[in-house]
Structure 1
Amino acid sequence: MLQLNQADQLTCNSNPSGGQSVFRVDFRAGVRNALPKVAILLCTYQGQRYLAEQLASFEAQSHTNWSVWASDDGSKDDTLAILEAHQQKWAEGRLFMLSGQAQGFAANFVSLTCKDLIEADFYAYSDQDDIWEADKLARAVQWLQTLPAGVPGLYCTRTRLVDADNNEIGFSPLFSKFPGFANALMQNIGGGNTMVFNNSARQLLREAGENKSVVTHDWWAYMLVTGCGGQVFYDPEPTLRYRQHSCNLVGTNSGWMARFKRVRMLFEGRFKEWGDSNIAVLNTLEHRLTPENREILQRFVAARNMSLIPRLIYLKRAGVYRQTLLGNIGLIAAAVFGKI
């Protein structure tokens, strides 16, 4: 379904101690005159109800140098018609359409991330049913531009939660602990719908390969960037309206129902399955992990196959952690019952 003409083809401070990292950026400053190009990686499936509103929020971005690469997983509703209408409405080169693999949202995002024909300065993941705040790309680009050349960078944010009719209902959890590899092994702190990353980060993701089975594309990105010595900035300022509705494939993790669901998944062995998948992906880039993070991974892998007391000792030495007190209590419980 790729629709483009040949002429259109595109030829935080680190805190090793594990404490909270503070990174201050003056987001009020203007962006550079030569605006870097952002490729918006949009995955769609049966998205007709909310898609137009999301596309309108792209149009409203204060950072104006962007293009949309929409990968559709076989929609049978009006999703393609909406995309085609915007392709005609927008300037040439603003929106490109591709066919997904029809293997689920994570596989679609991973495949889109690895496409050779997509070239830009930065890359932004996008769901089909959210609404971006006007400064979303500008904030991300300004932080990413502070990184030294060659350093993988990943920007993510808190979100403002809204219902199906765009009425505000709360916020996603506010995380305060340092975003690092020892945390990434246990959880993902950044929703994919908020993530923007640079070419160095994308190179890692492409090297890991699009044919790998991942739990979610955003967790995949968080693990690889932190593991290979990149920097992650978690912006506490919400940059999008995260729509909660009955058709959400992945909703917010806040609230007691979400906590109960995580406990149930723990005892069903889901977390252990996720750990197996994450380790397999990380082994692909083991040679790119920093020495410290390679040791963390080795201790975590060893602990999973030990008896109770050695398991707890090795996990303590690995330094793995979650962002909240309840999360870390759950981590201990998972370790005790051999469910990590």
Structure 2
Amino acid sequence: MSPTVSIAVCTYNGEQFLQEQLDSLLAQTRRPDQIVIRDDVSSDGTLALLRAFVPRAEAAGITVDLQVNPQNVGYRRNFDGALRACSGDLIFLCDHDDIWHADKLQRFCAEFTARPTLLALHCDAQLIDAAGQPLPGALFDALHYTAAERARMHAGDGFRLMLKRNLMTGAAMAFRRQLLADALPLPATGWVHDAWIGTLAAMRGQIDSLPDALIGYRLHGNNQLGLGGNDTSPRSVRRQRQLQTEQSQCEVLLQRARLLHLPPPMIALIERKHRHVSARATLPASRLRRMPTVLRELLNGNYQHFGRGVLSAGIDLVRA
């Protein structure tokens, strides 16, 4: 029996690109059963486009749940609200500025049906510009998601991969609704929703990748998250901020993992990462005084497990 499908669409001032995305949802060869839309109090023409979309979708046999938040709540709480309203066996996350290829739902559903233990799945994406024209390369290339890492994920090593860095982009992923029992409420800070759900899925079971590009992932000047971000802070500031974020993420993940009584080896690995990023975040200003900590973390394998190996160690030794 084919699983039922919900799509969680979150919008905020998406008038410029939204219509193409909505059209691509209706053009799916395997249509969704439910589309849940949460608008975060857009001030442009987004809501008019959404209201015009509802009868088109319903005429195609799709149930639509469209609501506007009473006040702006930000992307985390917006996705949290949308996910709570999803009733399908499979849930797809949807941004308002991408374009889905017509066979996306069909390909994902076939994979989930064939693999009952698969909890979350993501695919590659064609990068496109603001006009929808292809850009060089693909999402996996931009994320430096290597063939070796894809093989490890396919072999069941998804948790270690996701603990090292997020490899699952929300616009290109889907997961079984049963994961919401673990994932909700979404963390208020630190975690982005896709990384959080993907990591919890990897802790509960198998996650995997599809090698094909099944969406057009749009890069433009107003991307809230992902590759299109425009952080112009100095590299040293961004590096320190990232380490502090990873500290916070470990703390939140540890709290949830203990609450869910997940296996002790998984909890121990999160604790190990927390100690490592905490050590990196608090390195002394003196390069000479950093050396013992950096060498210790390098020799015990932590830079390899949670960073870029010798490169990360070298950066910590020489950075200003």
More off after superposition, 78-87 vs 183-192? 183-192
More moved, 52-61 vs 293-302: 293-302
Match of 1:43 in 2: 10
Distance 1:214 1:141, change over 3 A: farther
Quick one: distance in 2 between partners of 1:296 and 1:70?
37
Are the equivalent residues in 1 in contact too, given 2:7–2:86 (CA < 8 A)? no
Shift of 1:130: 0.5
Deviations 1:32-84 (A, max 9, x none): xx442211011100011111110110111111243211111110111111111
Give the equivalent residue in structure 2 for 1:21: none
Tell me which of 103, 108, 113 is aligned to 2:78.
Answer: 108
Q: Distance in 1 between matches of 2:194 and 2:96?
A: 15
TM-score of the superposition, structure 1-length normalised?
Answer: 0.76
Contact 2:118 2:208 in 1 (8 A): no
Amino acid aligned to 2:206: Q
1:71–1:108 Cα contact (<8 Å) kept: yes
Q: What is the match of residue 176 of structure 2? A: 198
Mapped pair 1:97 → 2:66? yes
For 2:95, the aligned partner's letter is D
Q: CA RMSD in A?
A: 2.9
Kindly indicate whether residue 192 of structure 2 is the aligned counterpart of residue 216 of structure 1: yes
Deviations 1:244-275 (Å, cap 9, x if unpaired)? 11111224279xx99x97945543x1112221
| Cα 1:294/1:253, change in 2 over 3 Å | farther
Pairwise mapping of residues 6-155 of structure 1 onto structure 2 (< 5 A)? 34-91=1-58, 94-100=63-69, 102-113=72-83, 115=84, 117-148=85-116, 151=117, 153-155=119-121
Paired letter, 1:191: T
User: Distance in 2 between the 1:39 and 1:274 partners?
Assistant: 31
Query: CA separation in 1, counterparts of 2:128 and 2:234?
Result: 22
CA distance in 2, matches of 1:109, 1:272: 25
C-alpha distance in 2, partners of 1:111/1:273?
27
Q: State the Cα deviation string for residues 136-191 of structure 1 (Å, max 9, x = none).
A: 1111112122333xx46111111101111111112123422123222212321121
Identity among equivalent pairs (%): 24
Deviates more, 1:236-245 or 1:93-102: 93-102
Instruction: Work out whether residues 172 and 253 of structure 1, in 8 Å CA contact, stay in contact via their aligned partners in 2.
Output: no
Give 3-state SS (helix, strand or coil) of 1:277's partner.
helix
Deviation at 1:309, TM superposition (A): 3.3
Question: Hey, what does 1:275 align to over in structure 2?
Answer: 246
Give the AA of the match of 1:147: R
Change (3 A) 1:71 1:240: same
Contact 1:72 1:99 in 2 (8 A): yes
CA deviation digits over 1:212-232, x for unaligned, max 9?
324311111122111x23211
Please list every run of 5 or more consecutive structure 1 residues that lacks an aligned counterpart in the other structure: 1-33
User: d(CA) in 2 for partners of 1:302 and 1:188?
Assistant: 19
| CA–CA distance in structure 1, aligned partners of residues 254 and 110 of structure 2 | 32
Give aligned pairs, total.
290
- Structure with the larger helix share: 2
Aligned to 2:213: 238
